[in-house]
C-alpha cells in the first residue's frame, strides 16, 4: 500500500508540475526513481517533522501540491500544531501519507503506534481523513488527490494486505462504498478492517445471518447521506476500526446517526482498541487478536450483539 502510494506520487509528478515529494528521514532508496527524474522536486529534510510540515505549507501557499511521508504518529503527535495551523487553518493542499496506521508497528511499542490518529485528525476543521483497504484502492485514491481542496491525511496499512476492494464499485473521496447490500446487521469499516468485515459477513451468512457492509474509507468528511440510508433497515450497526474506540470511525458513525436520523438509533457496537497504550509487543496480528479485532472474534461479537438485539 505504501509502495502503491509512493509510486503514484511519482506518476502524479510526471502529470502535474505542482507535485512535490517531501520525506523526513525515510528508508534508503525511497522513491529513488522520482529523485533521479525530478531531483528539484524531491526533498528529504531530516527528522524535523514540525519544519517539514511548515515547509510544505509554505510551498503549498505558492501553488505547489506537496506529498509528505513519515511514520503516522510523527505527523499526528509531533507536528499537530503545524498540521492544525499551517495546513488546516490555511486550507492548503498538502497530502500527509502516514505510514503504519493502527498497530502495524506493534513490535516497536507505543511510541510508534497510531491508535488515536484518526481522532486527532478528524477533530481538525478543513482536514480530510482517508484510510483505504488495500493497494488497489490506494491507487484509485491517489488519482483523486491532485485537485481535492485542503489537506488530506492518508493512513497506510502494513503493506501486502490482501486485495479486497472492488474496482467496479468506483472510488470517490468522501463517498462511502456499499460493499454488501443493507440488511438488519450493518458492518461499517475503514482501512483494512474491510477485509475483516468481508470474512465476518461470509461466516455469518453461513449461519443464516445476513450483514450489510459499508466501507467508509473517508472518515472525514463523513458521507452522512449514504450512512443514514444504508443504516435505515439495520437493527444493529457494528463499527470495526484499528483505532481506539474514542473519536474514530465508531464515534463518527454514532454522531452522524444521532445528528441525521429521524427515527430512534439502532444498537451501535463500536469495536476497536481500549483507551490505553498497548502494553504488549508481538505483531500487528497478535495485537489485533488481543483486542478482539480478528475475524473470528468479530464474528462472536456480532453474534452476541445480535442475540441481544433480536431477543
Partner 1 sequence: MTPLPVPQIAAAPALDERSRHLRRLVIQALEGGGRGHIGSSMSLIEILRVLYDDVLRYRPDEPAWAARDRFILSKGHGCLAQYALLADKGFFPTAELTRFCRRDSFLGGHPEAGKVPGVEASTGALGHGLPLGVGMALAARLKKSDHRVFVVMGDGETNEGSVWEAALSAGKHRLSNLVALVDYNKLQSYGPTREVCDMEPFVDKWRAFNFAATEVDGHDVAAMSELFRRLPLDADKPTAIICHTVKGKGIPFAEGRADWHHKAKVTAQDVAAMYDALEGC
Binding site for partner 1 (CB under 8 A): 40-41, 43, 45-46, 48, 50-64, 81-82, 85-86, 89-90
Contact between 267 and 308 (Cβ < 8 Å): yes
Neighbours of 40 (CB within 10 A): 6
Residue with smaller CB distance to partner 1, 41 or 180: 41
Would you put residue 151 in left (φ > 0), alpha (ψ -120 to 50) or beta? beta
| Start-end of H helices in the chain | 2-15, 32-37, 49-61, 72-76, 80-81, 117-122, 135-143, 193-206, 224-231, 249-260, 284-290, 295-310
With CA atoms as reference, report the closest residue to 24 among 89, 64, 82: 82
Shorter beta-carbon distance to partner 1: residue 79 or 183: 79
Q: Give the nearest distance from C-beta 50 to partner 1 in angstroms.
A: 4
- DSSP-assigned beta bridge partners for residue 211: 185
Question: How far is residue 23 CA from its own chain's centroid?
Answer: 20
DSSP output for 87-113: IIITT---EEEEES-BTTTGGG-GGG-
Whichever of 55 and 201 has its CB closer to partner 1, that residue is: 55
Least Å from the CB of residue 124 to partner 1: 14
Least CB distance from residue 264 to partner 1, whole Å? Answer: 40
Nearest residue (CB) to partner 1, 86 versus 241: 86
- For the record, the C-alpha cell of 267 comes out as 444498537
Residue number with CB closer to partner 1 (57 or 152): 57
User: C-alpha grid cell for residue 221?
Assistant: 468528511
From CA 119, how far away is CA 109, in angstroms rounded?
20
Distance CA 127, CA 139 (A): 20
Minimum distance, C-beta of residue 24 to partner 1, in the bound complex (Å) = 11
Q: How far is the CB of 47 from partner 1 (least distance, A)?
A: 9
* Radius of gyration of the chain measured on its C-alpha atoms: 19
Nearest distance from C-beta of residue 174 to partner 1, angstroms? 23
Nearer to partner 1, 55 or 192 (CB): 55
**Shortest separation between residue 156's beta carbon and partner 1, angstroms:** 24
Amino acid at each position: 500500500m505504501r509502495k502503491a502510494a509512493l509510486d503514484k506520487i511519482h506518476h502524479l509528478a510526471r502529470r502535474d508540475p505542482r507535485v512535490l515529494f517531501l520525506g523526513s528521514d525515510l528508508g534508503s532508496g525511497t522513491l529513488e526513481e522520482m529523485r533521479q527524474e525530478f531531483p528539484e522536486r524531491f526533498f528529504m529534510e531530516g527528522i524535523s517533522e514540525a519544519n517539514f510540515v511548515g515547509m510544505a505549507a509554505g510551498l503549498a501557499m505558492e501553488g505547489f501540491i506537496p506529498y509528505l511521508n513519515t511514520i503516522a504518529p510523527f505527523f499526528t503527535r509531533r507536528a499537530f500544531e503545524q498540521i492544525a495551523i499551517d495546513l488546516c487553518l490555511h486550507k492548503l493542499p498538502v497530502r500527509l501519507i502516514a505510514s503504519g496506521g493502527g498497530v502495524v508497528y506493534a513490535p516497536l511499542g507505543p511510541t510508534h503506534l497510531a491508535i488515536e490518529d484518526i481522532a486527532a485528525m478528524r477533530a481538525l476543521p478543513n482536514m480530510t481523513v482517508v484510510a483505504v483497504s488495500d493497494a488497489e484502492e490506494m491507487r484509485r485514491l491517489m488519482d483523486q488527490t491532485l485537485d481535492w481542496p485542503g489537506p488530506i491525511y492518508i493512513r497506510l496499512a502494513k503493506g501486502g494486505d490482501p486485495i479486497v476492494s472492488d474496482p467496479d464499485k468506483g472510488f470517490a473521496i468522501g463517498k462511502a462504498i456499499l460493499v454488501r447490500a443493507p440488511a438488519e446487521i450493518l458492518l461499517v469499516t475503514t482501512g483494512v478492517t474491510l477485509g475483516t468485515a468481508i470474512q465476518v459477513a461470509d461466516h455469518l451468512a453461513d449461519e443464516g445471518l445476513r450483514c450489510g457492509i459499508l466501507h467508509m474509507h473517508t472518515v472525514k468528511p463523513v458521507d452522512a447521506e449514504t450512512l443514514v440510508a444504508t443504516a435505515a433497515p439495520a437493527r444493529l450497526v457494528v463499527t470495526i476500526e484499528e483505532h481506539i474506540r474514542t473519536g474514530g470511525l465508531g464515534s463518527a458513525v454514532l454522531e452522524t446517526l444521532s445528528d441525521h436520523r429521524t427515527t430512534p438509533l439502532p444498537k451501535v457496537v463500536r469495536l476497536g482498541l481500549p483507551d490505553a497504550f498497548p502494553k504488549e509487543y508481538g505483531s500487528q496480528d497478535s495485537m489485533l487478536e488481543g483486542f478482539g479485532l480478528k475475524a473470528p472474534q468479530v464474528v462472536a461479537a456480532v453474534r452476541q450483539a445480535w442475540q441481544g438485539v433480536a431477543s
